[in-house]
Each structure stands twice: as C-alpha cells, then as structure tokens.
Amino acid sequence: MIRDMFPINRSLTGAGVRQTLAIIARHIDLTVHEVATGTPVLDWHVPMEWNIRGGTIRTLDGRCLVDFAQNNLHIMGYSKPVHGVFSRAELARHVHALPDQPDLIPYRTGYYADDWGFCLPDRLWQTMTDDSYQVDIDSDLSPGAMTYGEFFVPGETQDEVLITCHVCHPSLANDNLSGIAVATALAALRAGRRGRLGYRFLFLPATIGAITWLARNEARLDRIVHGLVLTCLGDDGPFHYKQSRREGATIDRAVAHVLAQAGAPHAIMPFNPYGYDERQFCSPGFDLPVGCFMRGVHGTFPEYHTSADDLDFVKPEALDGSFAVLDTLLDLLDRDCTYERIDGRGEPQLGRRGLYRAIAGQREAGGATQMDLLWFLNLADGRHSLLDMAIRADVPFGRIEAAARLALDADLVRPVAAREA
C-alpha cells in the first residue's frame, strides 16, 4: 500500500490527495468529502486547489537538470506556474537545498506564499554555474476543492474514538504514508467488528483538513472520548507518545499503560501546541483528549522532510509493531469498563465458585492470576475502570479483563455506566 502511494504527488489539495484516498478506499469503505475553495472554516478558508503536471530546470541548450517527473519533491508545494529564463542569481532565490545533507532533496511547501520554488540536492546545485537557466513549472492554482476521507465504524454507544492521519505529504514514506497505512489497517480490522465505542478514521490534509472537519462537526464533538493522531510509524526507532493538552486524559493513561506493559522502548512527551493535528484537536474551546502516537519525532531524525524518507526508510517490522501496539490500545479502550460488586462489600469466597480452579486452568493461556482476580474484586466498587485497576496493579489490561470475565461469569459483579475521558 505504501509502495502504491509513494509515487503520488500530494499536497493540501488536488489530484494527488484524491488518488491517495482512492487507494485507501480499496481497503475500507471510505467516504470522500470535497469542500469547495473559499468555504469558511472556523478562522480559516478552504484554499485554492493546486495541481501540477510537471516542472523542470534546463540549461539554455536544453539539457534537463531538474525534473519533477523524477522526484515530486523537486517542486515546492503550491508553486505557481512559471515559464522563462532566469539568471542563476534570480533562480537562487527560488532554490532550496541542504548544504549539510548535500545528496538529499528537501521537502518544502509554500501554501499561502504566492511563490514558486525548486528543491534539489546541494551537490547538484553547486555544479549549476551557468549564467542563466530555462525554468518551467506547469501548475495551476484555482478554485476547486479540498478533499478528505472519513470512515466510521459505529459502536454500541454514541462514544467515539478519533483516529486521524495526514495525507498531504508527497513522496515521503514515514511521514506519513506509514501513518496512512497503519490507520487503514486498523480501520479495516475494526470494520468487521462491533464494539462498545465507535471508531472514526480521518484522512486529512494537515491543519486545514483538521480545522475543516472540526468546523463541520462542531455540534457533535462531545462524542469524541479518545483520540490519536498517527504519524511516522515505520522507522525503527522507539515509540513516542505526545500527551493530549489535558495530560491526564484516559487516552494518555491508556497509551502509557500499553507501552509500558508491551515492554517496548518508548518515551512519553508532554503536550505542546506544535506538531501534527493534535494541536488543532487540542486547541482551546475544543480541547479534545487527543494525543499523537509516533515512532520518530518530527524534526529530530535526519531523514525528516527529505528524499531520504523513502521506501527503504520504512521497515515492515516497524509497521507491524506499530500496528500491534495500536490494535492492543484500541481493544483496551473498547473493552475498558467499570464494574461494581453485586453483593456490595467484602471479599467473595472464590473456592466454592470454582474460581481457583478456573484460574489454574487459565494459567497456560496467559489469563488472570489469582492476584489479578483479587485486584479486580478489590477495586470493583463502581469507581475504578479496568484500566485504573491494571495501572494500579501494574499488570497487563488483558489479565484484569480476564479476571473481570471470571467474576462476571460467577455473578460477582455487574457493569456500571462507563465514565469516559
């Protein structure tokens, strides 16, 4: 899937986003929204649609030095059309290169800049010493639409988990084809199940996509009880989780629990208002419980926003590992629940209900231990969720849940109305 999406040129708007959503739609029953240029969305307006067909820098004798067809990073996003001969000095004002990484093409955009630009390896740029070059960009920037995808798996309750990723980066594999692929895989898996919570997957152009979705769904945002932005899930680094603005929401505690229990190298980072679309979801007035789940952190790995973030940089095992952690997490959120003891007090007699035998029987299967069951029964007072219990007992959620099932089967507990977020 990543291989299919990689060659496509994506930006905030345009054909590339639509092609990408079409690939996603092969796997899940995606709804594609088109929002017309100029539509007011909160403090913003949907921008002009940008499309590009080609772009080159040639020597005056016609030799092609830089060609969009070779690598779509070569053209700065939202470059306006240009055709003409430019002196090297004039061209230099439109060239982006990385002297410290001379073999790499940088990724640059100029969404609202009314400008054009080329990105090229510094090593190439240093060899371009002609007085003038022929420059052509065959693009257009005109009224159209912004496109985003949405997929919803309804749950038994109105509560929803929001999973989003950005679909506006061109040929960059980790940032964020990895996020798209993992989100799609999670969505495909959830589509076949009906859980307690609904799962809403959004494939959005960054910033303006999130703002547009927020604006169009403002009346129903109280349904969002947990949320995650997914990005950079394919590199082989440790997991990073940036907490929601609340820094103590259930999603924050759940992710920390799952990562700790998985024994995976990871770091929990405080919220800050920079980064990916969590900054929109966590903006004041909304302040949704949405964190950002990633491996590599934007701006901190050398391949970031360069042509080195390519198909080789993304590892299947890393994608698998990311998927596994997230799938565990979504399961946990769905199955988290609060119970109370039917008899209201005391420690029930486990032996006469066969619970010691039941536990012994589960041992091989990684089920609840006796201690897990005791923790569950001790905290099943209507005020502790299974996640609360798992955190306090410092054992995997699944074992507390297994204990809950034993107790439920033994008529020792009943579920109480969930308290979310």
Q: Which residues are annotated as a binding site for Zn(2+)?
A: 169, 175, 305
Residues contributing to the annotated binding site: 169, 175, 305
| Nearest to a copy of itself of 161, 377 (CB atom) | 377
Residue 89 CB, nearest approach to a copy of itself (Å): 23
Residue 216 tokens, joined: 């169009």
For the chain, the C-alpha Rg in angstroms (whole number) is 25
Residue whose entry in the numeric block shows the structure tokens 């759940």: 254
Provide, rounded to whole angstroms, the least separation between the CB of residue 130 and a copy of itself. Answer: 32
Identify which of residues 151 and 397 has a Cβ nearer to a copy of itself in the complex: 397
Residues 75 and 118 sit within 8 Å (Cβ to Cβ): yes
User: Which C-beta is closer to a copy of itself: that of 43 or that of 131?
Assistant: 43
**Smaller CB separation from a copy of itself, 44 or 64:** 44
Q: CA torsion, points 189, 195, 198, 204, in degrees to nearest 10?
A: -10
Q: Name the residues that contact a copy of itself, by CB under 8 A.
A: 42-44, 112, 207, 211, 214-215, 218, 245, 272-274, 279-280, 282-287, 341, 343-349, 351-352, 371, 374-375, 377-381, 393
Q: How far is the CB of 207 from a copy of itself (least distance, A)?
A: 8
Pick the closer one to a copy of itself by CB: 87 or 274: 274
Q: With H, G, I as helix, E, B as strand and everything else as coil, classify residue 233.
A: coil
Taking the complex as a whole, the smallest distance from the CB of residue 412 to a copy of itself amounts, in Å, to 8
Instruction: Please spell the DSSP secondary structure of 275-341, one letter per residue.
Output: SSTHHHHTSTTT--SEEEEESS-TTSSTTTTBTTSSGGGS-HHHHHHHHHHHHHHHHHHHH--EEEE
Q: Which is nearer to a copy of itself, 65 or 113 (CB)?
A: 113
Q: How far is the CB of 209 from a copy of itself (least distance, A)?
A: 13
Q: Which two tokens stand for residue 91?
A: 């061209």
DSSP for 31-85, please give it. EEEEEETT-EETTEEPPPEEEEEEEEEEETTS-EEEETTT-GGGB-BTPPPEEEE
Tokens of 67: 């060609």
- Show Cβ contacts of residue 231 under 8 Å, excluding neighbours closer than 6 positions: 165, 166, 175, 176, 178, 179, 276, 292, 293, 294, 298
Minimum distance of a copy of itself from residue 110's CB (angstroms): 11
